[in-house]
Structure 1
Amino acid sequence: MSNQLDQKSRATVGRFGLKLVISVILGSFSEVGRTVGPDGWLALSALLSAAIALFKRDRFPTRGFNYWDEALWLVAASAGLHVLLREFA
């Protein structure tokens, strides 16, 4: 198995990282309990990625990463962040 990612997979990983950073920045501007926090922004990003995957008719699983993988990563990050925020808030 090759250690190199194809162009589409690299773009998917890059989009995931960008959405992760933007979600944390947007969530940091909210007051606790009043607006959507970083975990909510990640969940909204996951919904957007899933909608794009449906629109583009991406298949899951494939040999490389696509919008479905990105949506799953965002859901996992959102759930993990949600647990952390509930534990330490």
Structure 2
Amino acid sequence: MPIKSYLAHPHDGKKEELIQALSNLNHCDVIPAENKDVLVLITETETNAEEDILKQKLETISSLKLLAMVSGFNTPKKN
């Protein structure tokens, strides 16, 4: 189960648009900074395939200027 955290930087004046775009995606939680033009994005997917699809969707968001991964790990499912 891949879980990753990112700092998401919007293009100038596009913070609210970016919040909305990220909030509309499955497997994403968005936490806006109160004093800066940056968002914390937490993603949690069930499989690596879902993670790849999510990554492709993130790359298409026009209000996203920069996405920097802060932490990521994969917890294997127990059989």
Structure with greater Cα Rg: 1
Structure with the greater relative contact order (CA < 8 A, sep ≥ 6): 1 or 2?
2
TM over 0.5: no
Higher helix share: 1
* TM-score, with structure 1 as normaliser: 0.32
* TM-score, with structure 2 as normaliser: 0.35
